Amino acid sequence: MRFPGLVDVHVHLRTPGGEHKENFRTGSAAALAGGFTTLLAMPNTQPPLASYKDWRIAQTRAQEESLCDVFLMAGASEAHIDELPALAQNAPALKIYLNDTYGPLRVEGIEPLRRIFQSWSSDKPIALHAEGDSLAQAIAMSAIYDRNIHICHVARKAEIELIADAKARGLKVTCEVTPHHLFLTEADAKRLGPLGDMRPRLGTQEDIEALWRHINTTIDCIASDHAPHTLADKGLAGKLEAIPVEDPPPGVPGLESTLPLLLTAAHEGRLTYDRIQELLYTNPRRIYALPEQPQTWVDVDEKSFYVFPDHPLYTKCGWSPFEGRRMTGRITRVVLKGNTVYQDGKVLSV
């Protein structure tokens, strides 16, 4: 079976400032091993990509150092609202963080949010980390300023239902869900400890069932929210000498497990292979107006059974919350712009 080169609209590649966790080369190698040939990377780096200058430097490096196409979102910050017109012309989207999560970017209060929505004079989407009441705030801003918004990593029943209501009213709202919120629950969070901790936190069985009920309707994209942190940063360096750290950073890697998990779910009849293509290719490209990649595809053996991972992980953090999971559906080959870049467990362009 063959898919077009897939798109992950939510990854953290940690450059600049967090290169011990991931960099453009290792992150894009993980992407190819996972069947992704286009990435939208997040601006919560060090420094964050909140000024045109910092964004441009990082975007140039992304182009030079990555093994696939990488586009960087701009980050909204109250101190740099003056930068938004230039960023709106150049970046594919703006990211606003309304809740606490990893990194320094945060927007608090109605006044800065108003000014940010007014200054983003573009049809390009505003992507938001918006949990709980912040989600209602985000949808209200979209309605008031007539802007396309994209809600990141929706994880709760009430939240996916609110987004369904907003869409039914014709509001310009799209959303993504992560594989970890579709395949793991609070019980896994207990078992995994810091390796099962991310924002939003894993939900209840009821949350998961609600997300699956919306898989063919309200959910526009599946995005990995690939958020690599080293085992040392998580307080788990060397399994025997684990030193618990005070506040391990939230986030889990996902580029290499996303497609295998979805292929496994399709094998089990929980969604169709056509729907996978809509969630990982058609809708992401439409929402973010991403360029076409000629002669680019992913070959999968949808019947092949194995224990994940079927190759040494390419992400620099070197672990996955899905290690040991039984998967049906293997990525056998990835071709990018006419070149074979991944085959039989090996990225060929590193």
Binding to ligand NCD (CB under 6 A) within 180-239 occurs at: 198-199, 225, 227
Q: What number of other Cβ atoms are within 10 A of residue 66's Cβ?
A: 21
Angle at the Cα of 249 from the Cα atoms of 243 and 253, rounded to 5 degrees: 105
When the beta carbons of 30 and 263 are compared against ligand NCD, the nearer one is 30
Contact flag: residue 233 with Zn ion (CB under 5 A)? no
Query: Phi-psi bin for 243: left (phi > 0), alpha (psi -120 to 50), beta?
Result: beta
- Nearer to Zn ion by C-beta: 130 or 266? 130
Residue 336 CB contacts under 8 Å (≥ 6 apart), including other chains? 5, 32, 37, 67, 68, 293, 296
Q: In whole angstroms, how close is the CB of 97 to ligand NCD at the nearest point?
A: 7
Q: Which is nearer to ligand NCD, 103 or 284 (CB)?
A: 103
Residue 80 interacts with which of ligand NCD, Zn ion, none, CB < 5 to 8 Å by class: Zn ion
* Of the candidates 298, 316, 311, 315, the residue with the CA atom closest to the CA atom of residue 262: 298
Alpha-carbon dihedral angle through residues 161, 164, 168, 172, given to the nearest 10 degrees:
130
Which listed range, 85-93, 97-105, 253-261, 262-270, lies at the site for ligand NCD (CB under 6 A)?
Answer: 97-105
Q: Give the separation between CA 223 and CA 152, rounded to whole angstroms.
A: 8
Q: How many residues does the chain have?
A: 350
Q: Residue 69 in contact with residue 293, Cβ under 8 Å?
A: yes
Q: Whose Cβ is closer to ligand NCD: residue 103's or residue 235's? A: 103
Nearer to Zn ion, 251 or 329 (CB): 251
Identify the burial level of 173 via C-beta atoms within 10 angstroms of its C-beta, where 0-12 means exposed, 13-18 middle and 19 or more buried. buried
225, 233, 256, 278: residue in contact with Zn ion (rule CB under 5 A): 225
Q: Check residue 129 for interaction with Zn ion (CB under 5 A).
A: yes
Is residue 102 a contact residue for ligand NCD (CB under 6 A)?
Answer: yes
By CB under 6 A, is residue 278 in contact with ligand NCD?
A: no
Distance CA 305, CA 244 (A): 35
95 belongs to the binding site for Zn ion (CB under 5 A):
no
According to CB under 6 A, which residues from 247 to 266 bind ligand NCD? Answer: 249-251
315 counts as binding ligand NCD under rule CB under 6 A: no
Nearer to ligand NCD, 6 or 198 (CB): 198
Burial 186-211 (b: 16+ CB within 10 A, else e): eeebeeeebbbbbbbebbeeebbebb
Phi and psi, residue 208, nearest 5°: -60, -45
- Using CB under 6 A as the binding rule, the residues of this chain from 44 to 63 that contact ligand NCD are 44
- Quick check: 179 binds ligand NCD (CB under 6 A)? no
User: Binding residue for Zn ion (CB under 5 A) from 21, 80, 150, 275?
Assistant: 80
The nearer residue to ligand NCD, 5 or 48, going by C-beta atoms, is: 48
> How many other CB atoms sit within 10 Å of the CB of residue 305?
12
Binding mask 127-166 toward ligand NCD (x if CB under 6 A, else -) reads --x-------------------------------------
Between CA 181 and CA 258 the distance in angstroms is 11
Residues that bind Zn ion (CB under 5 A): 80, 82-83, 101, 129, 225
